[in-house]
Structures are given as structure tokens and as C-alpha cells.
Structure 1
Amino acid sequence: MQSLYRYLPILDWGRRYDRAALSNDMIAAVIVTIMLIPQSLAYALLAGLPPEAGIYASIVPIILYAVFGTSRALAVGPVAVVSLLTASAVGQVAEQGTAGYAVAALTLAFLSGGFLMLLGVFRLGFLANFLSHPVIAGFITASGILIATSQLKHILGVSAHGHTLPQMLGSIVENLGQTNWITLIIGVLATAFLFWVRKNLKPALRRMGVPPLLADVLTKAGPVAAVVVTTLSVWAFGLDARGVKIVGEVPQSLPPLTLPGLSSDLVGALLVPAILISIIGFVESISVAQTLAAKKRQRVDPDQELIGLGAANLGAAFTGGFPVTGGFSRSVVNFDAGAETPAAGIYTAGGLAIAALFLTPLVYFLPKATLAATIIVAVLSLVDLSILKKTWGYSRADFAAVAATILLTLLAGVETGVASGVALSILLHLYKTSRPHVAEVGLVPGTQHFRNILRHKVETDPTLVTLRVDESLYFVNARFLEDLIQSRVTEGCKIRNVVLMFSAVNEVDFSALESLEAINHRLRDMGVGLHLSEVKGPVMDRLKQSHFLDELNGQVFLSQYDAWKTLTKPNRVQAAE
């Protein structure tokens, strides 16, 4: 029964659902639905799909996440970065506007969902930890710039193409002569209005005495107002006949039953992009979920989140959608609006289903420039170039990784950018751990504590070298320790004993064990004893499984102070500055 609760969290929160939670969830659902209608249409446009695909991708997936997910506030659906990744990946295998393009998007969602489900079932959520936060921040910043740039063609009313920043800008410049000035006016005014709404409307309403909840609803309805005004303008003045590109006919229907394409060629072409989309989507989603859960002292299970997101993507694949994940803006809105349980997502899905059935004819004359403005305003909040300054001041290695990720994403495209981000994160980890911090320590006078001889005034013995290893030992850094000890021992001819202080060592792999054996043999040949101190239980258990302890040219001490008392002579002790 416990495992059933684990895989179906709805059974846990559902049995405690009450009228107060229902009221709060319904209010949150109304606010989020108002925000999602234009946003869903816009992200479908960004993904290169018909506008209804955005609504479809926001209905069944969010219901499935409510059943399998553990976050009480996460709102699942299309998001900007994943939509851009979808357009980039699917654009490589099919031409936009064709049936094959839509099928490829379904396949991408299917592969992404399957990959996430596998990670969740086998509890592999920890793999996302290999993506460093600075690299993720760099990728999202570059993606925000690319997304905003890609929408300029809709603001200008020109035809443009490209997947990299130089390609997009070059194509836009080439076609500037085709600018439709009416479209440009609509796009600029809509963008300016949405920026004003985001920053100034709520404070203005509060100064006018509007209640906080109503002020929040009206602020979130800003994009809806832009949609209504620009749509009415195009319809009233016949601007579509004057070159203003509109959404056109959107089917009045609930999400249809669809089937992804599973041909070997298509799956092979989309498998790697699907994995990258899954990783990026999960990292964004779990970050938002954990942040919001912490505010209410709730718990989010990363492995179950993988299953929830996997189910959501599989749902999108079979209901006319495309890859989805937990969105930052919609989740924050959902949380701030008072959502108590995932049922708020189910009610939101119901609101979007009503919109799909009855409201889609109203967006026929909606200008694409307005949707582009919605996307631009949403994604520019993702752009954080200050990460470059922060990492430069803190760590040159992190700065290099962030800068490389941003440049590769902008100059080579999002797939190359995210792949390089994953690779750079792993390489950065390997680089940092390949040169572990190893401090030579001495005894703090009057205590049993040992500190770095370069930072503290401590007692040392010229015949004894104690090295505190501040990292687990594995194949990447094992040789570094060998070279360090060899160099230190050959410097001082008086050295008779070397102690490796293992208080910070949590793991010794086989390569590191072989290095320790090599160190032991070399020191024995030099007439120097090798000793260990403060070895943790699991590490000692592993060492006992080998012959290393039997051949050790020294002892294993429970504490470093024990080693000091045994191996030093009082008359040899001196202070080290």
C-alpha cells in the first residue's frame, strides 16, 4: 500500500481534500487559466506548431501530473525554453507546417516522457545534479535571447529563418524592406503595454484602492487585454487584408487522440534531442517545485517528479501536444494565487478545455505580433547576464563554463548549447575534483586539533608529514596525490613518516586503491612509513576487502592526535608560521 501512495501521490493529498482547499484551488485555477490562454497559443507559435497545440499540451498533461506529481503548486505545460528546443529539434527532421512536423513533435514528447519515466522508476533523478547551476543559468540566458530574437520577425511582419543568433539577425536585416508598418505598430504597442502591465499595473491598482486579489487577477489578465484589443482592431479595420498576419481558424475541440511516429529513422533522429529536452525540463521543473515547496515546508520527491513529468509528456504525445515541463511563471502565479493542492491544475485543465470548445473562434483575428510580444515579455525575464559578473568574481572556471555555454548556444544553436552545457558541467566537476585540496597540517598548541600550516601557527615535526585529503579519491585525482606525496617527501631528507588524514574522504575507488598501494611501495623503498588516520567506516570496510592494509608500511590511527603522539618526539617539535 505504501508503494501505491508513492507512485500515486493523489491518494495521499486527495483523502485530506476539504472545502477550504477546493475554494483556494478554484481561485488559483481561474487566475492561471486567464494567463495560460494567450501564453499557450504563443508557445505553440514558438514551437512552430498550430496554436491549438499549445492549449492541447496544457490540458491532459497537467491532469496526469496532478495524479503522479508531488508538488502542490507546480503548473505543467509548454514553456519557452522547451518550446524553442522543440522547434530546433523537429525543424531538423520535418518542414514546419506539414503533417510530418506535428508527428515529429508528438514523437519528441513521447521519447521525452519515456526517458523521464525510466529515470523515475530506477530512481536516477540524481543525474540532474551533474548540470551545474551557472551552466544552466548561462543556457537559459542565451535561450531567452534567441527566443526574443526569433520573435522579431512577427513584430516586423517579415519572413525570416535561422536557428542561431547570426542567422536570425542576418535574415531579419535582409528582409527589413518587407516590414509591414501596421504589424510593427501593433507589435511595439503590445510589447510596451505588456511590459507596463508587468511592472506598474498592480501598484497602480493598489494605489486606487483595488483589493489585492482583484489587483493580482487584473495584472495577470494583462496579456488577455492585449489579445482582446488587438484582435478587435484587426477585425474592425480589416487589417488582415493589409498584410497583418493573424492566427486564423483554430479548431473547436477537446484534445484529439493522436499517435506519435515510431519509425526507426525518426526515433533515431529525435532520441538525443529528447534526452536533452528531458534533462533541461526536469532541472527547470524541480528547481521551481522545490523552491515553492520550501515556502510551505512541504517535500518534493525528485524521483517521483520524474514519473509525474514523464506521464505528462506521454499524455501530450497522445493528445496533440508537444514536450512540456513545469513552468516558472505559471507555477509562481499558481502558488501566489493560493493553490493548495495539485487539484488546482485539474481545474485549470477544465478551464482550458472550455476555452478549446467555445472560445477558439474568438482568436481568429488575433495578430501573431501580439503573441510574439507575449513571448518576448515572458522570456526577457529569463535573461540574466549578471551571472557572468558573478562567476568572474567568484570562480574563473565557472565563468569560462558559463561564457562558453552562452556563446555556443547563441552561435551554434540550442541543441549544441545544451549538449555543451551538459558536457561542460561534467568536465567542470572532473576538473575541480582532479586537483583536490590537500593541506599539510600541524597541531594547534594546547589542543588536539590540526590545521593548515600555511594558515595557522601550529606545531610540526620535521620527521613527520601529515596531509589532510579534502576530497574522495577516485580515478581522476588518484595520480595527483601520488605526485604530491612524491614531491613532498623528496624535499625533506629528515622525513620518516607520512600520515594521510582521511577525515574528508568518503570513497576510495579501485584506481585510487592502486595509487595508495604504489605510494606505500615507494615510501617503503625510501624507508618512510605510510600511515592513515581518521578513516571513515565505509572507507575502512572497502580497504579491508583488499590486501592494502596487510601490506601497509605503517599503522591506521583512530585519530590524528593518536598518530601525532605515536610518531613524534617532543624535542623535535617546532612552531610553523
Structure 2
Amino acid sequence: MTNVNDNLFAQQFRSNQSTVLNGIKKLCKVSTLKNKFPVLNWLPKYQASFLLCDAIAGFTVGLTTIPQAIAYGVVAGLQPQYGLYAAFMGCFTYIIFGTCKDVTIATTAIMALMVHDYAIITPDFAVFISFIAGCVILLLGLLNLGVLVRFISIPVITGFTMAAAFTIGSAQVNNLFGMKSPSNQFLPSSWQHFFTHVTSIRLNDSLLGVCSLIFLLVMKKTKNIHYGNRTIWKYISLSRNSMVVIFGTLLAYLLSRDGSEPFRITGNITAGLPFFRPPPFRTHIDEEEVYFTDMIQTIGSSLASIPLVSILEIVAIAKTFSKGKVVNASQEMIALGMCNIMGSFVSSMPVTGSFTRTAINNASGVKTPLGGIVTGTMVLLALAFLTQTFYYIPKATLASVIIAAMISLVELDKIADVWKSKRIDLLPFMVTLLTCLFWSLEYGILCGVLINISFVLYRVARPQIYLDTIKICGYDICFVDVKQRLDFASAEYLKEKILKFMNENRHDISLIIVKGVEINSIDYTVAVNLLSLKEDLEVLSCDLICWNWNDSATNVICGLNSELRYMFKKEQSIEDVVNDYYLSLEKRNECSRPATLADIS
């Protein structure tokens, strides 16, 4: 007996060993490595002619990335350098793992807003969230769960994006006019603070902020100028953020040389490159040590919402700029997860894809992801040599940059399109928008998704079923046309609808035909309900025929009662089905009729 057990154990061990070895061999295949490290696909094919295009695109994106990274660091309630740390690590990491040449990874306004409530407690929370969110996103990507983003519809995404744009823009209105921004950055609090502190508006900041905002909005349109060299106009338009920041910084520096402070300025930014160190798994709040589990509890639902929003942004952006290629959503999630994990080791806040910078990258003619090296290098140089210059950036100028970017996120044309196409889809849009504005971004997108799921469940539970009385070959029959598949959720609905119809027309109809062309399959619950329906119809002196059902659905019912196979008619016209039924009915009636004197004679 011992020898038998030893042999079984040895066989099991060899089987497990073989499975492990096969898994390792599969992981070490060149195709697998190329799938997980897309840089191995495009780098060997890199052409020298691509270098200039990538350099120009990377430089152009860098001119936008630096001021926006500083601005979004401020939006998050952090020192500006945290936004720069996020930008340079995101650029370098995505080159290795990303699949779309146009996508640029950095912090965004939405990420900054979502992390704000935790970052103002201590910056360690922002770095910790970056690490945890990265681990969640990476795990989802490795499990090939990119399909989950399909459950979030465009109206929900549009409502969320617009709510974030309104919230972020409203929070910057105070800075635009030289006022201190409230700690609570949600829309009602921002406007309440603005109107209750309107007397503290600073004239210099207001003039600079409003003029900068107008300049940005006007310069955005210069790309559409057809006079002269259109390429020059395009690059002038793309560099508008840098032009505004440079002008505002130079003006603030010149006017403050005599010791005055004409504008509220950004202030000190930590110079030099960040230290490479593990993310903080414990921190201090008011001199009290907070451990890992306490940090997790503090973050709460954001552990799900921040990764979800990050995934939504990068997948949506990658699909927009994929240019006919199939987007590997799971690989994009792996890339985003690695960007956040690596960023957490250099004190980065959470990052995701940036639509604005990706659009600039695409418009600049980028050829490969290598353009990200130029952008990342520019951010590193800015951290190393330009931090003293950043000291003089007026907050009103940064506010104008953020508000101008938020205005572009308000896509009123999409709302008009939804109104024209299917107005019911405005419901998840409005629920998402209002919940995000007046409750929180996390619960807003959750409510929108729940509304979408309820739509799907309603359609599943109440499929399109059309019943009508039609005359075929001189007989009145009830014709049932099912336009969707049937499953357990809709089984009772089909039965109820047919019985209700029959109770209203019970004296006129003796045959019901259920068309099954669009019924691909049924389950046990549907089969039981159809058998129950047949019994109920027999009480009403009515028969049931299933016309043109496929074999899969037929076999489910016949598996319960093989004698009912006669109910299913296939490869016959409906006229032949009706004629055959009434002929057989007449024969049955004749056989069951008592013999009369005429029959005997």
C-alpha cells in the first residue's frame, strides 16, 4: 500500500513539475515577452528617419507637460514638484510597456482632484495611493480583465469628465482672481468661498489671470488659420501654455525685484532629482504614527475608484488614437500599473493618460513611443535647473492654464448627439454628472454604472416580444415574435405576456406559434416555463408550436420531455405549419367523434 501511495505521489509530483516547466517555457517565449514588453516589437524596427519627428513631438509635449504638471501638483494640494516627478517617471516607464505611440502618461486634473482630499493630510498618502493603485491596475491587467471597461458607457464617461472639469475649473476661479483657494475643492464649496470672499479679489492677479485665459482660448484657435504656413500656426497654438507661463513668470520676476509682491506666486519648489526609495507604508499625522492598515482604511473607496478612473482614461485615449489598430486594453493596464508603481518609488502622485498631451503628441507627428524620452528628459532638466525660475510662476497664470484645459473637456456636442440618437441615455449622463458635482466623483461614476447595469438587466428581463393575431390559410392564430435571446430572467415575462394575450382573445384563437429564429439558446428555467405555458394553454383549448427554433434550444426542452418534439417545426413555411396542424386536428376530431347512423350505413 505504501508503494502505491509513493508511486501516486511521484506521478503527481512529476505532473506538477511538468505543468510548472511548461508555464515557465510559455512565459519565456519570445512572443510572450514581446506582448508584455512592446518595446521589443518597435525598437528593433526603429528607423533613423523617425528620430527627428519623435524629438520634435517630445519637445512640444514637454512644453505643455511642465506647466501642467506644476499646476496639477497644486490642484492635488501638493508641492508642484510632485507633479513633475509623476510626469518624468510616467514618460520613461510607458516607453517600455505601452502599446500606443501617441499616449503620454502624467498626472491629470482628474487624478489630482481625486487624490486631493488625502494629499492635504500628508503627501505620503498621494505616493501611497500611487503604489496601491498601480498594484491593483497591474493585477487586473495580468488577469486580462481589460474587458471590464466595456461596462461603462460613453454617457457615463462624459458625465464624469464634465463634472470633474466643472469642479476643477470652479476650484481655480479663486486663484484666477488672486484669492486663496478653499481646502474643500468641490463645486459648491468653491463658489461659496468665492462669493463670500469677493472683497479680497486682487486687481493685479485678476488682470493677469483673465488676460492669460483669454489669450489661451484665442491661441487655441490659431491652429485653424489657413493664412501662411499652417505648420507654424499649429506649433504656436501647441506652445500656448508655455508662452503664458513664461510671460507670467517673467512679469512677476521683473515687478518683484524691488521687494514687492504684485502677484500671488507658486513659491519654493524642491530642486534636484527625487530620491529612489520605497513608497511610504506608514506615515505621521500630527506627530502620531499611522500604519499600513490605517492608511488603507483612510483611503477607503478610492482604492477602487482611482484605479477605475485611471484605466478608463488611458483605454479611452488609446482607442481614440489607435488609428485602426486593435487596442490591447489589458496591456495598457499593465503599462499604467507599472507607471504608478515605479512612480511611487520617486515620490510621484497617481498618473494616467492625458488626453490633451496625447492630442499634442499626435498632432506633432510622433512616430514611436521614443518621443517620451525627450519629454521625460525635459522634465528632469526642469527639476535640476529651473526650480528657482518656477518660484515666480503666478498662481493666476497656473489657474488660467487649468481652466483653459477644463473648458476643452466640456463636450456639449456629445450631449447633443445623445439627444438626437437616444434620449434615454441622458439619464445615466445626468445621474453621473449631478452625483459627481454634489456628492463625490467616486460615487458619481458608481451611480452611473449602476444605472447602465439596470438598463441591461431591464432589457434582459423584458425582451422585445411582439404578439399579434394574423390570418393564415383562413385561420386566426396568435403569432409571437421574440426579438432577443431568452434566459431565466425573461422566462416568466414570456409566459405572462402570452397568457394575458390569450385571456383577452380566448374565444377566437386555438393555435399559438412562437417564432424562434433569434432565440440562440435557452436555459432550464425557460424550458420549465414553456412546459408550464403549454399546460396552461391546454386549459384554454389552445395548442403551442415552436417554429424555426435551433437545435440547441429544442434539445433543452426535449431533454425534459422527449414526447414534445412534435411541437418544433423547422424548414417549413408558416402556411405549411398551419395547414398541417389543422389537418391533423380534423383527423383527431374525426377519430374521437362517436359513430352515427350515417357512418354505419
- Range of TM-score over shorter length: 0.7 to 0.9
Considering only aligned residues, what root-mean-square deviation do their CA atoms show, in Å?
2.9
Q: Secondary structure of 2:87's partner?
A: coil
2:322 corresponds to which residue?
A: 293
Structure 2 distance, partners of 1:248, 1:461, is: 90
Matches within 5 A, 1:376-387: 376-387=403-414
Is 2:562 the partner of 1:550? Answer: yes
- Aligned with residue 366 of structure 1, among 384, 393, 397: 393
Specify whether residues 549 and 66 from structure 1 end up closer, same or farther in structure 2 by C-alpha distance, changes over 3 A only: farther
Q: What's the CA shift for 1:33?
A: 0.9
**2:281 corresponds to 1:261:** yes
The letter for the 2-side match of 1:120 is G
Shift of the 570–72 alpha-carbon distance from structure 1 to 2, 3 Å rule, reads same
> Partners in 2 of 1:414 and 1:42 — Cα distance?
20
Shift of 1:519: 3.1
The CA deviation string for residues 484-520 of structure 1, in whole angstroms up to 9 with x for no partner, is: 1222233333444434333334454555455445434
CA 1:505 to 1:327, structure 2 compared with 1: closer, same or farther past 3 Å?
Answer: farther
Does 1:45 find its partner at 2:45?
no
Q: 1:195: which partner in 2? A: 217
Matched with 2:234 is 216
The equivalent position to 1:149 in structure 2, one of 164, 170, 178, is 170
8 Å CA contact retained: 1:496, 1:527:
yes
Residue 393 of structure 1: CA displacement? 4.6
Query: Which deviations, in whole Å up to 9, do the C-alpha atoms of 1:306-361 show, x marking residues without a partner?
Result: 21122122222222112221111111111111112222223322222222222222
Match of 2:458 among 431, 438, 442: 431
Superposed displacement of residue 469, structure 1: 2.0
Instruction: Check 1:540–1:176 CA distance in 2 against 1; reply closer, same or farther (3 A cut).
Output: farther
Describe the superposition over 1:48-104 as per-residue Cα deviations: whole angstroms up to 9, x where unpaired.
2211111111122232222222212111111222222222xxx1x56x2x5x2x111
- Does the aligned pair in 2 maintain the 1:73–1:341 contact within 8 Å? yes
> Is the alpha carbon distance of 1:438 and 1:288 closer, same or farther for their aligned partners in structure 2, counting shifts above 3 Å?
same
Equivalent pair of 2:94/2:335 in contact (CA under 8 Å) = yes
**Are 2:114 and 2:306, in contact at CA under 8 Å, matched by a contact in 1?**
yes
- Per-residue deviation, 1:271: 4.7
The match for 1:450 is none
Q: What residue number does 2:495 align with?
A: 482
When residues 256 and 550 of structure 1 are mapped into structure 2, their CA distance, relative to the original with a 3 A threshold, is farther
Aligned partner of 1:378: which letter? A
Pick closer, same or farther for the CA change 1:134–1:459 going to 2, 3 Å.
Answer: farther
Q: Answer yes or no: is 1:116 the counterpart of 2:137.
A: yes
- Deviations along 1:423-455, one digit per CA (max 9) or x if unpaired, are 22222322343322123479xxxxxxxxxx8xx
Q: Is 1:8 the counterpart of 2:37 in the alignment?
A: yes
Q: What residue in structure 2 maps to residue 279 of structure 1?
A: 308
2:189 to 163, 167, 171: 167
Between the aligned partners of 1:408 and 1:249, the Cα distance in structure 2 is 37
Is 1:473 matched up with 2:502? no
Q: Is the 8 A contact 1:111 1:271 kept in 2?
A: no
Contact 1:530–1:552 (8 Å) recurs in 2? no
Structure 1: gaps (5+ residues): 443-452, 573-577
- Of all paired residues, the percent bearing the same amino acid is 26
Partner amino acid for 1:20?
A: S
C-alpha displacement of 1:419: 2.2
In 2, are the aligned partners of 1:529 and 1:553 still within 8 Å (CA)?
no
CA distance in 2, matches of 1:225, 1:363: 14
Secondary structure, aligned partner of 1:500: strand
Which residue does 2:596 correspond to in 1?
none
Shift of 1:20: 1.9
Aligned residue in 1 for 2:10: none
Counterpart residue number, 1:446: none
Cα distance in 1 for partners of 2:329, 2:46 equals 23
Contact 1:398 1:428 in 2 (8 A): no
Cα 1:517/1:283, change in 2 over 3 Å: farther
Q: Who is 2:113 aligned against?
A: 84
* Aligned partner letter, 2:517: S
**Cα shift at 1:551:** 6.6
1: distance between equivalents of 2:485 and 2:472?
27
1:407 aligns with 2:444: no
Normalising to structure 2: TM-score of the pair? 0.82
CA change 1:169–1:475 in 2 (3 A) is farther
* Distance in structure 2 (CA, Å) of the matches to 1:141 and 1:291: 18
Query: SS at 1:151's partner residue?
Result: helix
Three-state SS of the structure 1 residue aligned to 2:478 is strand
Partners of 1:538 and 1:331 in 2: CA distance: 48
- Paired residues for 1:131-150 under 5 Å: 131-150=152-171
Matches of 1:371 and 1:461 in 2, distance apart? 80
State how far apart, in whole Å, the 1-side matches of 2:341 and 2:563 are. 56
Secondary structure in structure 2 of the residue aligned to 1:242: coil
Q: How many angstroms apart in 2 are the aligned matches of 1:69 and 1:441?
A: 55
1:255–1:478 distance in 2 versus 1, CA, 3 Å:
farther
Aligned position for 1:54: 83
- Residue among 248, 260, 267 paired with 1:248: 267
SS of corresponding position for 1:247: coil
The counterpart of 2:504, out of the listed 481, 491, 499, is 491
Deviates more, 1:334-343 or 1:463-472: 463-472
Residue type of the alignment partner of 1:180: R
Superposed CA offset, 1:107-137 (max 9, x none): 2222222222222222222211111111221
- Change in Cα spacing, 1:477 to 1:43, as seen in structure 2 (3 Å) is farther
Q: Which amino acid aligns with 1:502?
A: G
* Contact 1:21-1:340 at 8 Å conserved across structures: yes
Which deviates more from structure 2 when the two are superposed, residues 312-321 or residues 219-228? 312-321
8 A contact 2:255–2:262 mirrored in 1:
no
Over 3 Å counting, the alpha-carbon distance change for 1:473 and 1:62 in structure 2 is farther
Distance 1:247 1:164, change over 3 A: closer
| Residue in structure 1 matched with residue 104 of structure 2 by the alignment | 75
Match of 1:575 in 2: none
Which of these residues, 331, 337, 359, is aligned with residue 332 of structure 1?
Answer: 359
Return closer, same or farther for 1:242/1:322 CA change in 2, 3 Å cut-off.
Answer: same
SS of structure 2 residue aligned to 1:58: helix
How far off is 1:276 after superposition? 1.7
Q: TM-score, normalised by structure 1?
A: 0.86
2:472 and 2:578 in contact (8 A); partners too: no
SS at match of 1:339: coil
**3-state SS of 1:304 partner:** helix
Partner amino acid for 2:331?
Answer: Q
Instruction: Look at both structures and tell me which one has the larger radius of gyration over its CA atoms.
Output: 2
Of residues 466-475 and 408-417 in structure 1, the stretch that sits farther from structure 2 once superposed is: 466-475
Aligned-partner SS, 1:382: coil
Structure 2 portions without partners, runs of 5+: 1-28, 283-291, 584-601
Cα distance in 2 for residues equivalent to 1:170 and 1:437: 49
- What is the distance in 2 between the residues matched to 1:293 and 1:356? 32
* Deviation larger for 488-497 or 60-69: 488-497
**C-alpha contact 1:58 1:78 (8 A) present in aligned 2:** yes
**SS class of match (2:512):** strand
